[in-house]
A and B are shown apart, each in its own frame.
Chain A
Amino acid sequence: MLALENITKAYGTVFANYNASLKVETGEIHAVVGENGAGKTTLMRIACGELRADAGHETFDDRDVTGWNVNAAIAAGVGMVHQHFMLVPTLTVAENMILGREPFFLNPRISSQAVRELSESTGLAVDADARVSDLSVGEAQRAEILKALYHGATTLILDEPTAVLTPREIEELWKVLRGLREKGGTVILITHKLDEVMAIADTVTVMRNGQTVGQFKTNEITSDDLALAMVGREIPPAFIPARRTKNGAPVLEVEDLVVEHAVDGVTFSVSPGEIFGIAGVEGNGQHELIEAIAGYRRVTSGSILRGGVPIERTTVRRRGALGIAHIPADRRRRGLVLDYTVAENLILGRERSFGRFALDRMKMAIEAQRLITAFDIRPHDPRLLARQLSGGNQQKVVVAREMAGIRDFHVLLAAQPTRGIDIGAIETIHAHFRLARSEGRSVVLVSSDLNELLALADRIAVMLRGKFVAILDRDDATMETLGRYMAGAA
């Protein structure tokens, strides 16, 4: 049994955890849920010895382990799999397993044999001899879990494991986790997806604003009650406005677009006031397609027309001026300068509207205040570095800048806009997409979340190996048909 009592952890003047308590029984799957920035990850990093709490008690199997370090936690069988993988890309899976505890004389055959056996017994399918850089995201995650088990973890902490997985991979992960539970292992699952909690967890602890607000058995609570506990307020039900007939000249036309190694002749057009969805398993060229339209990936051939004007050879800035906004898939690398403040990030790409030579700091401050309030970017402090915000609030910075910033837009290219963020933030972002549509603006929405596409998109294209294999009207699209096209079966 792992128990944390009254844990408090502060960063500067901000409390990441305040009097948070958690009790995890041996042999259960325990979910920790909460919005982004609720303090879930911090609490778990304290549990696995990566961080030291400022106050509070930790016990493991009735032993006082307050303030233990990672090595002590691993020795006791507590291991954590992070949201951002910590594998060495140039080494093989097996080499990653023995990293840090490699014997003096390496015997590659023995270690890869051991990894293979563990892989078979747990159902975590990974090629032990594959280089990590060649793995898909799902495989890399399985390798991470395998590594923790290889190091003897019996209490496994997973931070948002499903954020990067396809629905099928998620099902496989659930199978693996249930298998671990059967063997007496304990799993702690950080998530903010309530359907996952209901599907897999025995017990759930809800966090809000750094505090734990309740612990429930999943068979004694509904997901609506959980949602209420998470955000402390009612969440409006998903709502789809009456769709109007789209008319008017297309705002974006893509013709036979080819991007080397990624996009292989894609053609589509987007009408004003339309949300055009692109579904597909990650890695089938969706992101390269979006980057090519946004202007920072070279187009090999084909054309892109914005309101009839060819733009495939123009700069990112020119396309921005023509009304193209862009939410990149990788917000930490492409969407934000992490070491810039929130205020600075809110003008990224629009800095030329804030002064001919010197930047107008007053204008910047007003813009920051306006967007921070409108999108409830927390904490409400424009001087914080983007790095210091939680994932959901980082994404709100990007969305606020692209959708409500100083530069108006006609077409928004949104790649995975809600991946890895909490329901509150997702609702905000979806509401802005719908608002944009009702104002006659258009959105190209790439998402691996079919529910998101079905809730928002007017038409949905399915991308497979660089091509559109189908473009369906919303009325013809179901989970099943999309899934079949995504798998290449139809």
Chain B
Amino acid sequence: MKALYPVITGALIALVVGDLLILGVGQSPADVYRLLIEGTWGNPYGLAQVLYKATTLTFTGLAVALALRAGLFNIGAEAQLALGGFFAGAFGLLLPAGFPAPLAVILCIAAAATGGAIGGAIPGALNAWFGANEVITTILLNFVVLFFLNWVVTAHLHVPETVHTRALASGTVPRLSAVIPAFRGSAANAIIVLAIIAAIVTSWLVFRTRFGYELRAVGLSPDAAEAAGIIPARVRVATFTLAGALAGMGGTNFVLGYKHYYEDGFSGGAGLIGIAVALAGRTHPIGIMLAALAFATLSQGGLAIHALVPKQMADILQGVVILGIAVASRTKS
């Protein structure tokens, strides 16, 4: 219960600041919030869109939270997410038409995980070998990776007049609307199941396995871990690689589930919001899924409140929530 205190504080701060902003543009906060709820949880399409966005955020949130358990700050989930999406899209293009569908999906997900893992292993290795601060390397790698992928797609793989690749012939996953017709038109798709599994497996890995035991020991006391025979550098590389794989799998939500092609810039900040999701979710799998839903609601709600206030209002609110949580959860004295 005590762990929720920063989250509640953050939300309350955001509520107050939000009210002031809304009043500042001459609107009634009650009207705006009603619109925000109606546009998200209030109708099937809005709800499905929230679920879709929460799926990506769950993956990136897990990627940040896992690294945090090993005492590492992963600011690179954005690049890892983009790499995952690119690997899934590029690998899917290589598969021949008529390739067995379930196998194609599994292979594309594996490709996404591999792409993300590469994006995570690089800062992990730089940290282990050269002692490079992972915060700095992951931030800088975000730029390197995003611009590199931009060049690959726009120079070589794009469909003319667009910034995306050709559509995949196989490897796509069904939309949720195939089961729940009310979700028609929404991007929500079966990858949400993968997100839930990933959250459960990550939690099991961290708290119930030998590797998780060593990972947390390194995060809590690298000196004690080292004296006990755990090699902190090795654990950090492995953790960063796994974190990258988690973020990378998030790329399948867009590529395999929604558009069926890789599009430049699809990550759209979801990797960075993953940091907020991890902080708000207190590195607990259910907490992370709930936090992902909350930030997805704000993101989707931003579109709904456009009629009354600038769309950017929701983005500002997201930022305020993050600041509030960061301020209230200063765990280090």
Contact = CB atoms under 8 A, between A and B. Distances in A.
Is B one of A's binding partners? yes
Nearest to A344: B213
Contacts of B209: 355, 357-359
B226 A348 contact: no
Interface string A326-364: 101000011111111000100111011011111101000
Contacts of B216: 340
A464 to B, nearest CB: 26
Interface string B203-221: 0100011110110110011
B210 A352 contact: yes
B307 interface: no
Given A337-B217, A338-B221, A359 B208 contact: yes
A296 B226 contact: yes
Contact of B224 (A347, A348, A352, A359): A348
Given A344-B213, A357-B210, A349 B228 contact: yes
B210 A355 contact: yes
B180 interface: no
Interface in A421-447: none
A333 B229 contact: no
A358 B227 contact: no
A351 to B, nearest CB: 5
Interface stretch (A221-229, A240-248, A312-320): A312-320
Interface in A125-182: none
A316 B221 contact: no
Contacts of B223: 333-334
Given A355-B210, A359-B209, A359-B210, A348 B228 contact: yes
A421 B217 CA distance: 25
A453 interface: no
Contacts, number: 66
Contacts of B210: 351-352, 354-359
B167 interface: no
A359 B221 CA distance: 20
A294 interface: yes
Among A338, A344, A358: residue with most chain B CB under 10 A: A358
Given A357-B209, A357-B210, A358-B208, A337 B226 contact: no
Of A315, A334, A336, A351, most B-chain CB atoms within 10 Å: A351
A336 B227 CA distance: 9
Contacts of A316: 226-229
Contacts of A338: 220-221
B290 interface: no
Contacts of A352: 210
B241 to A, nearest CB: 17
B13 interface: no
Nearest to A291: B227
Between B213, B225, B228, the greatest number of chain A beta carbons within 10 A of the residue's beta carbon is seen for B228
Given A337-B220, A338-B221, A326 B213 contact: no
Contacts of B231: 315
25 contacts: A296-B226, A315-B229, A316-B228, A316-B229, A320-B229, A326-B227, A333-B223, A336-B221, A337-B220, A337-B224, A338-B220, A338-B221, A339-B221, A340-B220, A347-B213, A348-B224, A348-B225, A348-B228, A351-B210, A351-B213, A352-B210, A357-B210, A358-B208, A358-B210, A361-B208
Interface of A: 294-296, 315-317, 320, 326, 328, 333-340, 344, 347-349, 351-352, 354-359, 361
Given A294-B227, A337-B224, A348-B228, 9 more contacts: A317-B229, A335-B224, A338-B220, A339-B220, A340-B220, A344-B213, A349-B228, A349-B229, A359-B208
Interface of B: 204, 208-211, 213-214, 216-217, 220-221, 223-231
Q: List the 8 closest pairs (A to B, CB-CB), nearest first.
A: A349-B228, A317-B229, A316-B229, A334-B227, A337-B221, A348-B228, A339-B220, A349-B229
